[in-house]
Structure formats: C-alpha cells, structure tokens
Amino acid sequence: MNIVFKAGLLLLFAGVFSCTSSVKSSSDEDARPNIVLINIDDMGWRDVGFMGSEYYETPNIDALAADGMIFSNAYAAASNCAPSRACLMSGQWTPRHSIYTVGTSARGKSRDRKLVPVVNNETMPDDNVLIPEVLQKAGYVTCQSGKWHLSEKPELRGFDFSIGGSHAGNPGSYYPPYKNVPSVKAPADDYYLTNLIMDRTLDFLDSVDNKPFFLYYAPYAVHTPIQPVKALLPKYENKAEWNGQNNSEYATMVENVDAQIGRLVEALRSSGKLENTVIFFTSDNGGHYGITKQWPLRSGKGSYYEGGIREPMFVFWKGEIKGGSQSDFPVSQLDFYPTILDMAGISKPADKILDGASILSVLKQSETLEERPLFWHFPVYLEAYVKNDSTTQDPLFRTRPGSVVRLGDWKLIQYFENNDIELYNLKEDIGEVNNLAGSNPEKVKELIEILETWREKTVAPVPEQLNPDYQGK
C-alpha cells in the first residue's frame, strides 16, 4: 500500500503521554473508562503526520497515535458531514436514518440529473437511540463540544452539556462574531473559535468529579471557511509543498486544532484522568479536494472514491491498547458504538440495530475478526465544487446516485442512472485508476449480489423515477 508512517517520529513522541497520575476512584462506576471521541471536520486521510504528511504539523495528535493503535483502513460511513455524523452517533447505515446529505438531495442543476433523487432527511429521528443517550442512561456525564449538525438541541439527544452545538454545519466565521455559533461568546475581538471551544471543554473536564464521562469533541475546524490562525501563518507561507499539500492558511487550522487536542490531553494527564480514558480519533469525511490532497487516494469530500471516505484513525487506551500498534483490518465508524458499549460494559438497548461490530478484540490484539463487507448508500446527487475535477466520475458531480461495497481487497461502485459499474482491487490499486469490471465479471457478480441483498435487508431506497428536466443522453 506504500503508506509511509512516521514510525521513528511517533516513537520519539510516544513518551509525551506516558506519564499519568496515580489518582483512582474506588467505586465500580468510576472504574468504567472515560470516553473521548474526537471527530475532526473535513480532515483528510493524510492531513496528519502519523499518516505521512510532511506539510501539516500535528505533533500532539502524532504522539497520542504513537501510544495507541493506528488503523490504515478506517472509513466513515458517508462522504460528507451530516450523514457521516448520523451514522457515527446511531451506529447505523444511512438507509436506517435516511440522512444522506446536507440540505436537499437535489444538488446540482436539474438538467444534469437523470433521476429524481430520494428525499433527504435533515434531522436525526427521535426514536433512534444514540450512543450519548445510552451512556447518559448508564450514569456517564455527557458533553458535546463543537459541531453537532443532527438536530437543533444536542441536550435533547443525550448530552448533559453542549458547547456550541446546533444544526449548523459550519461556523460561518472562526473570528468574532461567530455567525452560526452565537451560543459561545468571544472574550476578545480576535479570539479564534477553535480555541474558545477548547476553553469551554476544559471547563467541563474541571467540573467532572468522580463520575465517568463521555466527551464528544467535534470542533468545526477544519471545515470552511478557511480562515488562518494569524500567528502561525508565516511558518507555512514559504514551506515546501508535499504530495499536493500546499495551502498555508488551511495548514494553520490543522496545526491549531492539534494544539487544542494537546491542551485536552494535558488536562486529562494532569488531573489523573488520562489513565482511565479511551480516546478515539477520526474525521467525518475526506478532505476538501480544492484545499488539500490525500494522494495516492482518489478525489475527496463528497466522493465515494477512497479520498472521500477513508479517514485518519487511531484509538488510545493506556495499559489496554499496546502503544505503537497498527492494524490494516478494514473498520468503519459504525464500529465505534458497539465498541464503546463493550468497553463500558453496557448492554445494547433492546431492539436497537447496530450495523457495526465491536473491535475491542482487534484493539487488544486478543483475536481477529472475520472479514465482513462494508457498505455505502447514496441515492442522491452532490454537485462538484472543484471546476473540471477529473478525479470524480464526471466533472458535474462529486457523486451521482449509487451504492458501494468493499469486501477484502475488492471495492465495487454501482451507479443507478445507467447501472455503470466500477471495480477496483485496493491492494494493487489504492488510487482507483484501473476499473476491472470488464475483465472480472465473476467478482462483479459476487459483489452485486452481496450489495443487492444488503439493500433488501436495510430497505435501502433506489431512485428510479426519471427527471423530466434532464437534458443529457
């Protein structure tokens, strides 16, 4: 796969987070691990040092990754914000909650859409039990920090505290006034939003006594608007490009969010909480292709090629997960929900369907999991945002309606408009350059059957109605 992990650098930093306090609670409740779920917005697979970037500087994230298990084949269950977060919080594929995109499903010009897309649901259904609701009911103190995007009030979905969360998908501005985040007030005229959200997050940690806590830290960064952290900008303005990464303003946002995570980890360490805290690190979808590149992965956010759905991911749990370990086992963020329940010793809610699997045995290297297919379903349109983007199926859309399955090394994409099929062997062709559908009909047949069975099981809607406005061929 030719992934270059900065092994030496990671080991050098690994000791940074190895010192912990001896403060412990004696109660059974307090013995349950604290859980921190970090979900960065629009951070690409190679936008961090531990995945090989030589342009962006992320020493705190890299150090934490070095002390845990890094996953090289980690996926979001959708390629843009809202559906990805809905899958993460619910533990379910998109057809079960019907959040497929942000806003309307009829994106792009009507004349270019052959099919009438499935209607998109913009709000998480109330009857879908989310992971914070389960943890809250089990006695965890719960906090949502930063972007929520699934409903207007996170406090009604299992969170005791919300810091800046709402239905907003981006902040509007990282400098005051924070247009879409009016619930947090700036202490100074130029106070950066990402820093302020961490200030309030540390206040939350200070308020937690001996109860276990669940922190969902999902800063609006590094989503647009691209607004640089001014003090960091000179460092990157003359820095050499690496692997297509050269946006100095975006680089300051990446480094700054890394600094905030450093503050978080230091607060956990100094308070003695780090020793009993699990930290999941991921991103909600691929990087914005007009801003950052994930080469050799193809395309970026909004696409169902690898650049849109493969994510940087690691899990840290001092004393439970071996530092410096790595896994190539394909995992999905759908696996987080059952894994967290497993770690906390909490039973799955009655009648709750979880589409992922606990990966605790993988994390502890106690046993291997059976190979299983991973699925994506996108029965809607998402217009292009990069002019003449040759990395997508066509230059008009980041993706057209379709479904995707990955099983082992093989990945199949089925588009609904004309039943176009793409087949890739990711082990040999991680950049998805060579479509093998024509030369490997047996594998196409096998994966199509798996995909159709899955769609039947999940009652996944497939658009069939022709659009009368369509002017294509």
At 383-441, the pLDDT tens digits run 998 877 889 988 999 999 999 999 999 999 999 999 999 999 999 999 999 999 999 99
Strands (E), 76-180: 141-146, 161-163
**At 408, which amino acid appears?**
G
- For the cut 50, the answer to whether the pLDDT of residue 22 exceeds it is no
**At 258, which amino acid appears?**
D
- For the cut 50, the answer to whether the pLDDT of residue 5 exceeds it is no
Residue 28 has what pLDDT? 54
Residue 15 has what pLDDT? 33
- For the cut 80, the answer to whether the pLDDT of residue 72 exceeds it is yes
Residue 30 has what pLDDT? 62
List the structure tokens of 320.
């439970």
Which candidate, 435, 432, 455, places its Cα nearest to that of 443?
435
pLDDT confidence bin for 245, thresholds 50/70/90: very high
- For the cut 60, the answer to whether the pLDDT of residue 4 exceeds it is no
Query: What average pLDDT is seen over the chain?
Result: 92
Identify the residue with better confidence: 357 or 386.
357
Q: What is the pLDDT of residues 93-126, one digit of tens each?
A: 999 999 999 999 999 999 999 999 999 999 999 9
Q: From CA 155, how far away is CA 183, in angstroms rounded? A: 13
The percent of residues above 70 in pLDDT, for the chain, comes to: 94
Q: From CA 237, how far away is CA 106, in angstroms rounded? A: 39
pLDDT confidence bin for 460, thresholds 50/70/90: very high
**At 120, which amino acid appears?**
N
- For the cut 80, the answer to whether the pLDDT of residue 377 exceeds it is yes
Kindly list the distances between the CA atom of residue 236 and the CA atoms of 55, 71, 242, 360, 370, in Å, as whole numbers in the listed order. Answer: 8, 28, 12, 39, 44
Which candidate, 153, 227, 169, places its Cα nearest to that of 193?
227
Q: From CA 81, how far away is CA 150, in angstroms rounded? A: 10
In the numeric block, the tokens 């979808």 are attached to: 285
pLDDT confidence bin for 26, thresholds 50/70/90: very low
Give the predicted TM-score (pTM) of the model: 0.93
Bridge partner list, 242:
245
Burial state string for 413-439 with b = 16 or more CB within 10 A and e = fewer than 16: bbbbbeeebbbbbbeebbbbeeebbee
Peptide bond into 212 cis (omega under 30): no
Q: What is the pLDDT of residues 295-339, one digit of tens each?
A: 999 999 999 999 999 999 999 999 999 999 999 999 999 999 999
Mark residue 172 as left, alpha or beta (left: phi above 0; alpha: psi -120 to 50; beta: remaining): left
